[in-house]
Amino acid sequence: MLLFANSSSGVRTSFLRKQLGLGTKSAHRLSNRIRLHMSAWDRPTQLGGPGKLVEVDEVILRHIRKPGAPNLDSALVMGIECEGQVLCGIVPDRKRETLHRNIKKFVAPDSIVVTDDWVAYRKLADLGFRHITVNHSQGYFNTEGYSTGKIDSYWAVVRRAMRGYHQVSQYNLWLFIAEIECRYNMRHSAESIFDTLVSHWPSVIGDDLEALRLKYDWS
Provide CB contacts within 8 A for 21, sequence distance 6+.
none
pLDDT digits (tens, 9 = 90+) for 163-177: 888 789 999 999 999
Residue 202 — very low, low, confident or very high, per pLDDT cuts 50/70/90? confident
Crossing angle between the packed helical segments 24-39 and 173-185, to the nearest 10 degrees? 50
- CATH number attached to the domain at 53-152: 3.30.420.10
| DSSP helix, strand, coil percent of the chain (3-state; round to 5) | 40, 20, 40
Cα angle at 40 between 39 and 42, to 5 degrees?
110
Average pLDDT taken over every residue of the chain: 91
Residue 139 — very low, low, confident or very high, per pLDDT cuts 50/70/90? confident
pLDDT digits (tens, 9 = 90+) for 185-198: 998 888 888 888 88
Residue 131 — very low, low, confident or very high, per pLDDT cuts 50/70/90? very high
Residue length of the chain = 219
Provide CB contacts within 8 A for 65, sequence distance 6+.
72, 73, 167, 168, 169, 170
pLDDT of residue 60: 96
Q: Where are the chain's structural domains?
A: 2-44+174-215, 53-152
Once rounded to an integer, what is the mean pLDDT over residues 113-141?
90
